[in-house]
Chains A and B, each alone.
Chain A
């Protein structure tokens, strides 16, 4: 079973920041938080990952709470192409990825 809980869907206005929450209250000390997204019928695309520090790359920022029980993926300036299902995953090194149901993000024009 997936170890994460995400809202099933969210809306965000184009050009605004999209903040996608994820709860992972049972995360272990050696588990990383990963985010992937899947645009309709394509393979999942890696976005970002982190252990306990906040991370930023060209696609997004990842904010992990100090107790590591939740995190937020931030897409700073959402565009219509960001419409996708976003998966938050926790996993240990070299372990399989267990996907939950994810959050379906709708970007509104």
Chain B
């Protein structure tokens, strides 16, 4: 199976702009999670989507949003970009269901965002 893919891999934006990142999960996986990684804060959970519904949410401001499509692909959007939003944004997918089965998350290569 192909792994998790993320596009674009690299992105440069300026303060105040908005950005949309895309994630395609492993085929058959319905859960998609997003993480932000910075040198100072490490890896932090943003949100998780399952069957087009947000199921878990981390402690990020409302400028960070996401959505999931019926084919399980997911996008995250960051509006009004700030310098501190420069980070590696990682997407992970799993075959997790709502039935309580533990499943492993598999990560994509990430999108490196630089805000100038």
In the complex, A18 Cα to B84 Cα: how many Å? 36
**A41–B110 CA distance with the chains assembled, in angstroms:** 8
Taking a contact as CB atoms under 8 Å apart, the answer to whether B45 and A96 are in contact is: yes
Evaluate whether A94 and B96 lie within 8 angstroms (CB atoms) in the complex, with A43-B107, A46-B106 already known: yes
How many A-B contacts are there with CB distance less than 8 Å?
58
* Interface membership of B81, Cβ < 8 A: no
Cβ contacts A to B, 21 pairs, < 8 Å: A32-B102, A36-B107, A38-B43, A41-B88, A41-B110, A42-B109, A42-B110, A44-B43, A44-B90, A45-B107, A46-B104, A46-B107, A93-B102, A94-B101, A94-B102, A96-B33, A96-B56, A96-B58, A97-B33, A98-B45, A99-B42
B74-95 vs A, CB cutoff 8 Å, 1 = contact: the mask equals: 0000000000000010101000
Q: Is A95 an interface residue (CB 8 A)?
A: yes
How does the 8 Å CB contact mask read for A5-40 relative to B, with 1 for contact and 0 for none? 000000000000000000000000000101010100
- Quote the shortest CB–CB distance from A55 to chain B (angstroms): 12
Enumerate chain A residues within 8 angstroms of B55, measured Cβ to Cβ.
94
Q: How far is the CA of A41 from the CA of B109 in the complex (A)?
A: 8
Chain A interface extent, by class = 20 to 34
B48→A96 contact, CB < 8 A? yes
> Chain A binding site: helix, strand, loop or mixed by DSSP?
loop
Bound complex: CA of A80 vs CA of B72, how far in Å?
Answer: 36
Determine whether B70 belongs to the interface, using a CB cutoff of 8 Å to chain A: no
Taking CB atoms, residues of chain B closer than 8 Å to A98 are: 45
Closest 4 CB pairs of A and B: A43-B107, A99-B43, A96-B45, A93-B102
Let me know if A101 is at the binding interface, CB within 8 A: yes
Quick check: B105 and A46 within 8 Å, CB to CB? yes
The contact string, 1 if C-beta is below 8 Å from chain B, for chain A 78-109, is 00000000010000011111111110000000
Complex Cα–Cα for A98 and B41 (A): 12
Q: How far is the CB of A100 from chain B (nearest CB, A)?
A: 8
B108 to A93, Cβ gap below 8 A?
no
Complex: how many Å from CA A30 to CA B45?
21
> Using Cβ atoms and an 8 Å threshold, which residues of chain A touch B90?
43-44
A68 close to chain B: CB less than 8 A: no
